[in-house]
Structure 1
Amino acid sequence: MIRPTATTIRSLLLLCCSLSHSLIQLNTGTGRLHDDQQEPTSLRFKNLSSVPEGLDVRLRDLDLSNNFIRHINSQGLGLPSLLRLTLSYNQLEIISEGAFRDVAQLQELNLARNALSHNVDSNSRALGSLHRLRSLDISMNGLDDKAVELYLHNKSVLEHLDLTGNGLTRLTAKLFAESLSMRSIRIENNLITAIEEGTFETLKKLKTLNLARNNLVYICDFKLHQVKLLNLSRNSIEFFVTREDGHPYELEILDLSYNNLLYFPMVPKTNQLRYLHLQSNMVGALETDTLISEADSLYRELTSDDKVKDAVENNNVYSNWRLMPLVYMDLSSNHFRSLPLETLSHLTSLVTLNLSKNCLQDISYNTAKGCSGHVGCYRQPPLTLPSLRYFDLQNNGLRQLSTLFLEALPNIETLNLKENSVRPCDPKDQLGPSETMRENSPTNMSSCVSFRNIKTLRHLDLQDNGIKTLHQNTFERTPLVSLNLASNVDVILNSGALEGLQSSLQSLSISGNNMTTSALSLPCLKALRRLNMSDNNVDVLPSTISCSPLTELDVRNNGLTSMNESLVDRLSLYLHVLYVSGNSFNCCDTKWLEAINKEKVKIPDLDHAVCLHVNGTLLTGFLRNHSLHCSLELSPKITELNLGQITIIMLFVSTVLITLVVFVKKVCCNTGSFIV
Structure 2
Amino acid sequence: MVRHMLSSLLLLWSFSHELYLTELKYDSLTEQSWKNQNLYSVPLDLDIRLRRLDLSNNFIRQLQTLVLPYLEQLDLSTNQLDFISEAAFENLTQLEELNLSRNALNNNTGVNSKALQSISGLKSLDISFNSLSDGAVELYLRNKYSLDQLKMTGNALTRLSHSLFKESKGLRAITIDDNRISVIEEGTFEPLRQLEMLNLAKNNLAHICDFKLRQLKYLNLSRNSVEFFVTREDDQLYRLEILDLSYNKLLYFPIVPKMNRLKYLHLQNNVLGSLNSEAAMVSQANYLYNEIFNEKTIRKNYLHANWRLMPLKYFDLSYNHFRTFPVETFSLLSSLETLILSNNCLQNIIWNIRNYSDSGERRQLYFPSLKHLVLQGNGLVNISPLFLGALKKIETLNLQENSVQPCAFIDHLRSSRTTQQMNLITSCVAFEQLRTLKHLNLKENNIKMLPPNAFQKTSLVSLNLARNTHMVMHEGALEGVRATLESLIISEINITSSDLTLPCMPALTQLKISNNHLDILPSSLSCSPLREIDIRNNAFIALNHSLMDTLSVHLKLMYISGNTFNCCDSKWLIILNELKIKLPDISDTKCFTPGNSNIAVTEYLKIPLFHCLLHTTAQKVHFGQMLIVVLFLFVVLTVFIIWTRNLCCTERSCIV
Decide: shared fold, TM above 0.5: yes
Contact 1:156 1:179 in 2 (8 A): yes
Partners of 2:279 and 2:271 in 1: CA distance: 16
Q: Deviations over 1:273-323 (max 9, x none)?
A: 0000000000100121111111111100111259x86xx53x353222111
Contact 2:29 2:47 in 1 (8 A): no
Instruction: State which of 367, 370, 375 in structure 2 corresponds to 1:388.
Output: 370
User: What's the counterpart of residue 400 of structure 1?
Assistant: 382
Q: Deviations over 1:596-627 (max 9, x none)?
A: 123221111111012223222333x2345336
1:552 aligns with 2:560: no
**Superposed counterparts of 1:505-516, under 5 Å:** 505-516=485-496
Q: Deviations over 1:326-346 (max 9, x none)?
A: 001000000000001111111
Partners of 2:62 and 2:153 in 1: CA distance: 23
1:630 positional shift: 3.9
Instruction: State which of 86, 111, 114 in structure 2 corresponds to 1:122.
Output: 111
Secondary structure at the aligned position of 1:427 is classed as coil
1:170 positional shift: 0.4
Q: Say if 1:566 and 1:97 are closer, same or farther in 2 by CA, change over 3 A.
A: same
Partners of 1:159 and 1:554 in 2: CA distance: 52
Contact 1:190 1:213 in 2 (8 A): yes
Amino acid at match of 1:340: P
**Superposed counterparts of 1:570-609, under 5 Å:** 570-609=550-589
Amino acid at match of 1:201: E
Instruction: State which of 468, 479, 486 in structure 1 corresponds to 2:459.
Output: 479
Q: Deviations over 1:94-149 (max 9, x none)?
A: 00000111111100000000000000000000000000000000000000000000
**Superposed counterparts of 1:657-668, under 5 Å:** none
User: What's the counterpart of residue 249 of structure 1?
Assistant: 238
Partners of 2:611 and 2:535 in 1: CA distance: 29
1:638 positional shift: 3.2
Secondary structure at the aligned position of 1:147 is classed as helix
Q: Say if 1:436 and 1:188 are closer, same or farther in 2 by CA, change over 3 A.
A: farther
Amino acid at match of 1:304: N
User: What's the counterpart of residue 82 of structure 1?
Assistant: 71
Percent identity (aligned) = 51
Contact 1:365 1:440 in 2 (8 A): no
1:377 positional shift: 3.6
Partners of 1:99 and 1:265 in 2: CA distance: 48
Q: Say if 1:84 and 1:448 are closer, same or farther in 2 by CA, change over 3 A.
A: same
Instruction: State which of 149, 156, 164 in structure 2 corresponds to 1:175.
Output: 164
Partners of 1:39 and 1:391 in 2: CA distance: 52
User: What's the counterpart of residue 614 of structure 1?
Assistant: 594
Instruction: State which of 312, 328, 351 in structure 1 corresponds to 2:314.
Output: 328
User: What's the counterpart of residue 503 of structure 2?
Assistant: 523
User: What's the counterpart of residue 12 of structure 2?
Assistant: none
Contact 2:568 2:612 in 1 (8 A): no
Q: Say if 1:379 and 1:494 are closer, same or farther in 2 by CA, change over 3 A.
A: closer
Partners of 2:621 and 2:562 in 1: CA distance: 38
Which 5+ residue runs of structure 1 have no aligned equivalent?
Answer: 1-19, 656-676
Instruction: State which of 355, 366, 369 in structure 2 corresponds to 1:370.
Output: 355
Q: Say if 1:366 and 1:167 are closer, same or farther in 2 by CA, change over 3 A.
A: closer
User: What's the counterpart of residue 238 of structure 1?
Assistant: 227
Which 5+ residue runs of structure 2 have no aligned equivalent?
Answer: 1-14, 636-656
Amino acid at match of 1:638: T
**Superposed counterparts of 1:162-561, under 5 Å:** 162-286=151-275, 287-304=277-294, 313=300, 315-365=301-351, 369-371=354-356, 376-377=358-359, 381-427=363-409, 431-435=413-417, 437-439=419-421, 444-561=424-541
1:431 positional shift: 4.5
Partners of 1:644 and 1:155 in 2: CA distance: 96
1:41 positional shift: 1.5
Amino acid at match of 2:170: S
Partners of 2:349 and 2:623 in 1: CA distance: 79
Aligned residue-pair number? 616
1:513 positional shift: 0.5
Q: Say if 1:53 and 1:436 are closer, same or farther in 2 by CA, change over 3 A.
A: farther
Q: Say if 1:431 and 1:400 are closer, same or farther in 2 by CA, change over 3 A.
A: farther
Secondary structure at the aligned position of 2:95 is classed as coil
1:379 positional shift: 5.8
Q: Say if 1:267 and 1:54 are closer, same or farther in 2 by CA, change over 3 A.
A: same
Q: Say if 1:454 and 1:127 are closer, same or farther in 2 by CA, change over 3 A.
A: same
1:435 positional shift: 3.3
Secondary structure at the aligned position of 2:479 is classed as coil
Partners of 1:575 and 1:640 in 2: CA distance: 37
1:492 positional shift: 1.4
Amino acid at match of 1:477: K
Q: Say if 1:550 and 1:24 are closer, same or farther in 2 by CA, change over 3 A.
A: closer
Instruction: State which of 638, 641, 644 in structure 1 corresponds to 2:617.
Output: 638
Q: Say if 1:277 and 1:126 are closer, same or farther in 2 by CA, change over 3 A.
A: same
1:40 positional shift: 3.2
Partners of 2:487 and 2:214 in 1: CA distance: 46
Partners of 2:426 and 2:344 in 1: CA distance: 22
User: What's the counterpart of residue 136 of structure 2?
Assistant: 147
Partners of 2:621 and 2:347 in 1: CA distance: 75
Partners of 1:40 and 1:262 in 2: CA distance: 52
Q: Say if 1:69 and 1:560 are closer, same or farther in 2 by CA, change over 3 A.
A: same
Amino acid at match of 2:468: N
Partners of 1:559 and 1:349 in 2: CA distance: 49
Partners of 2:610 and 2:273 in 1: CA distance: 69
Partners of 1:190 and 1:505 in 2: CA distance: 51
1:40 aligns with 2:19: no
Q: Say if 1:644 and 1:193 are closer, same or farther in 2 by CA, change over 3 A.
A: closer
Q: Say if 1:604 and 1:214 are closer, same or farther in 2 by CA, change over 3 A.
A: same
Contact 1:404 1:436 in 2 (8 A): no
RMSD: 2.6
Partners of 2:615 and 2:500 in 1: CA distance: 43
Secondary structure at the aligned position of 1:218 is classed as coil
Q: Deviations over 1:513-570 (max 9, x none)?
A: 0111111111001100000000100011111111100000000000000001111111
Q: Say if 1:623 and 1:68 are closer, same or farther in 2 by CA, change over 3 A.
A: closer
TM-score, length-scaled by structure 2: 0.89
Secondary structure at the aligned position of 2:607 is classed as helix
Partners of 1:379 and 1:472 in 2: CA distance: 33
Partners of 1:157 and 1:560 in 2: CA distance: 70
Partners of 1:517 and 1:644 in 2: CA distance: 37
Partners of 1:453 and 1:446 in 2: CA distance: 14
Contact 1:462 1:483 in 2 (8 A): yes
Partners of 1:491 and 1:378 in 2: CA distance: 42
Secondary structure at the aligned position of 1:439 is classed as helix
